[in-house]
Amino acid sequence: MNHFLDLADSSREQIVELLALADRLQTRPEPQALAGKILGLLFFNPSLRTLASMQAAMAKLGGTSFVVTAGQGTWQFETRRGAVMNGAPAEHVREGVPVLSHYCDAVGIRAFASGTDLDTDLSESAFRDMAGLVSKPVINLESAINHPCQALADWKTLDDLKVPRKAKFVLSWANHPRALPLAVPAATVHMAAMRGMDVVVLRPEGFALPGAIMRKAMEAAAANGGTVRETADRDDALNGAHIVYAKEWGSTTHYGNAEADANLRAKLADWCVRDTWFSTAAADCKLMHCLPVRRNVAVADEVLDGKRSVVQREAYNRMVVQAAVLHRLLSTPQH
């Protein structure tokens, strides 16, 4: 493994091996495995879990890390190709990113979607441009349309909970005051399909996942014995569900149009996951969410504070699986 950019770059068997390494490091820690190694973390967007869990994972393996928050204590970065840099940004990523990579052994980058043009965001061009500037291993800490570290942690959470491979996995749209990126829903639907689950994407009209995201998930499902479908019928989706994975995302019919998106979501306040959503679900159905979550907008207190919620385990597993990713990318094989 040279980079960690997308679960789709690996086979199901390789992901299962990576999760086995995560389990091994959990039970038999290797506190010197990455002694002397340095991880550089470059954030263009805020984070709590990703930032803290990457640093913690690196420290647990004996390595160290530094964090650069773009524009905060650094020069402001320009990212556009061909930009005439006579405004506020003083440094282009074409210089800044390779410079940072000189100081470390691997680079993690978080750079969200622009949220203005769907095709551009689906192409991942901004993230791929930056990753292409680095000659060291690159870890995707959330790009326009992917969040592989979250997806890997969620796969481990499903395994920890002994959720059967063929269980019904419902990725449900949830309410939020404004449009959020497609990275987590895209990564989640693909992860559950690649795990071989029966995946239902539940969303109101106007929020269908783009064809490219659904096709990728359907291909993963076909290769691994799963299924993927999409519906706006909540009763149909939740009936018999083993997992409800709540996630907020922006309208795809009005992508980049904040006013039209807001008009649509103004009528969708009942898309807040409540206990009543689980009345026809499997008895032990769990609630997943990547966090952060808006309480009583996306998910009600009664669910987040109840026995169904596994959000803390998901967050904990971020550190566990990222340790495996770092180990795989940076450890020296023992002969």
Q: Residue numbers of the site for ligand CP (CB under 6 A)?
A: 47-50, 142, 150, 290-292
Nearer to ligand CP, 145 or 238 (CB): 145
Nearer to ligand CP, 29 or 292 (CB): 292
Task: Quote the least distance from Cβ 310 to ligand CP, whole Å.
Answer: 14
At residue 65, the 3 state secondary structure works out as strand
Task: Quote the least distance from Cβ 47 to ligand CP, whole Å.
Answer: 3
Single-letter residue type at 88? A
Nearer to ligand CP, 218 or 288 (CB): 288
Residue nearest to ligand CP (CB): 50
The two structure tokens encoding residue 234: 């909540």
Task: Quote the least distance from Cβ 279 to ligand CP, whole Å.
Answer: 28
Task: Quote the least distance from Cβ 291 to ligand CP, whole Å.
Answer: 5
> Which CA distances in Å does 275 have to 49, 119, 280, 310?
26, 37, 11, 15
Task: Quote the least distance from Cβ 70 to ligand CP, whole Å.
Answer: 15
The two structure tokens encoding residue 129: 């441009």
Give the DSSP letter of residue 35. T
Between CA 248 and CA 255, with CA 251 as vertex, the angle to 5 degrees is 125
Please give the span between the terminal C-alpha atoms of the chain, in angstroms, as a whole number: 18
Nearer to ligand CP, 150 or 175 (CB): 150
**Sheet with strand 168-173: strands edge to edge:** 227-231, 198-202, 168-173, 243-247, 286-288
Single-letter residue type at 83? A
Nearer to ligand CP, 241 or 288 (CB): 288
